[in-house]
Structures are given as structure tokens and as C-alpha cells.
Amino acid sequence: MRLSKSHDLPGTLIVVEGVDGSGKSTQISLLRDWLISTVQDVIYTEWNSSRIISDTTKKAKKKNLLTPRTFSLLHAVDFADRLEQIIVPALKAGFVVLADRYVYTAFARDVSRGVDREWVRNMYGFSICPDLALYFHVPIETSLARICANRAPKFYEAGMDLNLSKDPHESYNIFQGRVINEYDKMIDEYGLVKIDGTETVHNQQVILRNIVSKMLEQKNIRVR
Amino acid sequence: MELELKKQSRHGYPGLLIPIEGTDGAGRTTQIEMLRNWLAIEGYGVVISEWKTSKLIAAAIDQAKEKNLLHAYTFSLLYASDFADRLENVIIPALKAGLIVLTDRYTYTAYSRDVVRGVSPEWIRKLYNFAPQPDLVFYLKMPVEILLKRIIGTSGLDYYESGRDIGLSTDFYESFKIYQRKILSEYSIMEKEFDFEIIDGTLSVDSVQNKMRKKVKELLDSGVIK
């Protein structure tokens, strides 16, 4: 299916991945400002932001009603909707599309919730293969320290639905530790480009811009 | 000591799972209602589960359909979410409790509709691979011409049942014919693949029901549930 081969659309798809607190959103936002000032036609899309089922997932999350599989399917609905309504049209029109989280988020999180690895990969088989997938790697301690500096981890980000531990911090450690582990396995499987998320914001951004300009130049898009 | 070989249901739960498939207008709902009454009189606990009825997701599907904004894969995944939710909350608990679960449509409906709308047949079968394997699948088979008359004579042609969303023809009648033919052709591929018990849907309501009861009776007599 589409995910396993490179696309032949005129646009460019760049995705950022990593656990909560890995700094990927800060980096993609800086990348976006830079690209807008140089290549101009840039759009940005976030995980779980389609309106089609947001009410349903919100309701379900509140009541903790969903099994991991149903949860996984609903995220796929959201993704499919955004892919067809936003991502694909923009790629056809030649835009640079920046996605904050992509299918790899589902592969990491859903598998960490006990969903079958092959099943979830097949489910997302219709998605477009990115031109560049950046993975911001941080150790679990960094993630926890950044996310929970002044609050307790939230129910789902701590994986409290899995009954791993009654203590939210402990549960966060176990659950997000699994997520990191799944991401690490995908570096080879999908050619994710690993970025050290413990580096300073500036250093990371310099590395990022370097990788992105090279990739864009290969597609004959000039970046200064 | 005597060794007793107990017959097992196909899915391993103590209950029985019997889906009834067929296109719109094939008479599924009527037949299921009659089966339920008969089984109740025979002393079996019955649960009915219909396609697209999960409390959580059915409303979202209706909303999206109203706006006609679904792409093939989105459409397909929404229905799969509904199914997964019903499976966990209705179907599996009932099977575990040893009840007979009659489902009005099952995964085969997705295999026909979604494939006609453009998703890969292999992809959709893998997507639903978590569904328990039924003990008996009834397929109420109807030729397009008779279906058309039935539907026009009762509910009238519906936008989605006519496949209007996939732009087959702007003529409602033509579109319905083309769409339902495609659907039927997907079902016919599945007849062997999933070992359908084919029932001629053009027979009278009572003859259809008698044939179905005979098959269910055979299954019950085999001692698969107590």
C-alpha cells in the first residue's frame, strides 16, 4: 500500500515524532517560521485535530469508555479525514506539509496499549509515506521532567487506562517508556531520522534546517 | 471413565454467533425478529445487534454522512470503530454468557460496501481480523431487479444505498442499479470464502424463515451449546 512506497506528488511531507516533552512541537514551529520566510507555501497539521470525531473521542475519554482497539480505530478515523481533506490536497498543490505527529505516533502508542503491531500497521497502510520523518529522542526522565514540571501527568498521557500503577508518575514512566521503546524500533523499520532532543533548542534547529534544506534541494526546492 | 468430546463453537465462547447478511431490502430485519421469537419460545437467550448502533459512534457517522464529507477510508474506519465498540460492549459479553447472538449484518457488509467504495479487499479483511468467527452465516440473496422494486415500494431510494456518493450516475435509478450490482458481486465472491448459508430471498417470508430455523436447529442439535 501507499505507506510502503515513496509518493510522486509535487509537494513535500515532513513529520516530527517523539514522546510528550521531547521538544518536537517547539522545533516544528521554528521550522515552520523559517520555511514560511523562504519557500512560502507551507501548511501545518496536528495529530487528533479533525473535527469529525473530536466530540466522540472527548466524550469517550472523559468516561474512559474505550478499549485500546476502539481508541486506535478512532484515531485512525481522525487521521484518514485529515489526510484526505488537508494533507493530500496540499501535497498535490505542491505545498510543504509539516505534520506534528504522524502514523508513527499511532504505531508507538497503540502498540504500547496492547494493540497488535501488524494490525495497526495494516490499518494505516493507506497513508502517504513522508519525505522526511524526524524523531526527537529524549530519555524518559527528560520527558517526565518537562511535562510534569508543575502538574501531575494527565490520565491518558500517563497511560492510566492500562492500570499499570496507581501513581500517575510511576504509570507515566512505565507507559511512556514503552512508547520510547516502540519509537526506537521504528528508526530502522521506517528510516526515522533521530535527533537528540536533549540538545539546546538552537542546536537542534540548526541540525534540522540543515537536513531539511538538503532534502528540499534534492526536490529542486531552493532554500536559503 | 468415558471421554466426552464436546463440540466447540467456532470462536471458542460458550454462546453462538449467527450473522444475517444481505443487501438492503432483502428482509433481514423481519427474519431476525422471527428467529428471535422462535428461539425464545425454545428457551434460548437471544441478543440482537444491528450494524451501526454503538451508542458512542453511530451519531458521529450520521453527522458525517449528512454532510457527505467522507472519503472511502475514513468511511470504512468509522464503521469499524462502531463495530469494535459493539463487539466489546454487546457481542462478546453475550457470547461469554452463553447467549445466541443474532447480528443484523456483520463484517461482510464492510467487505462489500467498502470495497465498492474503493478500499483494498485485503486491507479491509485484515482490519476486521479481530472479529470472532461466526458459527453460521446466513446470506439472503436477492437479484437486483426484485430488490429495486422492494425498496421503491417501501422506503424509497436512499442517497448512500444508491451509491450516489461515489458518483456512478446522476440518475438515481441507474445509480442504484449499478451500485447494488457491484455490492452483490462482492457478496458472491464471499459465498465460498466465508462458507455462507445461502437462502433465496425471493421466497415467501415463511419459507425463508423455515429454512433458517432448520439450519439453526441442526446447529443446536449438534450440542454446541447447552
Per-domain residue ranges of chain A: 2-218
With contacts defined as CB-CB under 8 Å, which chain A residues touch B81? 53, 70, 73-74, 77
Q: For residue A187, what pLDDT is reported?
A: 98
**Distance of residue A23 Cα from the nearest chain B Cα, in angstroms:** 30
Number of domains in chain B: 1
Q: For residue A8, count CB atoms less than 10 angstroms from its CB and return exposed for 0-12, middle for 13-18, buried for 19 or more.
A: exposed
Q: How far apart (Å, rounded) are the C-alpha atoms in residues B96 and B83?
A: 18
With contacts defined as CB-CB under 8 Å, which chain A residues touch B126? 119, 122-123
Instruction: Name the closest residue on chain A to residue B131, using Cα atoms.
Output: A69
Question: Is the Cβ pair B81, A74 closer than 8 Å?
Answer: yes
Question: Is the Cβ pair A84, B130 closer than 8 Å?
Answer: no
Instruction: Name the closest residue on chain B to residue A82, using Cα atoms.
Output: B74
Q: For residue B6, what pLDDT is reported?
A: 57
ipTM (interface predicted TM)? 0.89
Q: For residue B100, what pLDDT is reported?
A: 97
Q: For residue A94, what pLDDT is reported?
A: 94
Nearest by CB to A1, which of B57, B77, B120? B120
Q: For residue A119, what pLDDT is reported?
A: 98
Instruction: Name the closest residue on chain A to residue B119, using Cα atoms.
Output: A126
**Distance of residue A106 Cα from the nearest chain B Cα, in angstroms:** 14
Q: For residue B1, what pLDDT is reported?
A: 47
Ranges in chain A, pLDDT < 70? 224
Does some domain include residue B178?
A: yes
Q: For residue B7, what pLDDT is reported?
A: 66
A200 Cβ contact partners less than 8 Å away, ≥ 6 residues apart: none
Burial B110-146 (b: 16+ CB within 10 A, else e): bbbbbbbbebbeebbbbbbebbbebbbbbbbbbebee
* % of chain A exceeding 90 in pLDDT: 81
With contacts defined as CB-CB under 8 Å, which chain B residues touch A122? 123, 126-127
Q: Which fold has domain A2-218?
A: Rossmann fold (3.40.50)
* % of chain A exceeding 70 in pLDDT: 99
Per-residue pLDDT tens, chain B, 226 aa: give them: 445 555 678 899 999 999 999 988 889 999 999 999 999 999 999 999 999 888 778 887 887 777 666 789 999 999 999 999 999 999 999 999 999 999 999 999 999 999 999 999 999 999 999 999 999 999 999 998 888 888 888 877 777 777 878 878 888 888 888 999 999 999 999 999 999 999 999 999 999 999 999 999 999 998 887 6
With contacts defined as CB-CB under 8 Å, which chain B residues touch A125? 120, 123
Q: For residue B5, what pLDDT is reported?
A: 52
Question: Is the Cβ pair B77, A80 closer than 8 Å?
Answer: yes
Does some domain include residue B11?
A: no
Q: Which domain holds residue B177?
A: 16-219
Does some domain include residue B10?
A: no
Q: What is the DSSP string of B178-212?
A: HHHHHHHHHHHHHHHHTT-EEEETTS-HHHHHHHH
Instruction: CATH number of the domain at B167, please.
Output: 3.40.50.300
pTM: 0.91
**Distance of residue B74 Cα from the nearest chain A Cα, in angstroms:** 5
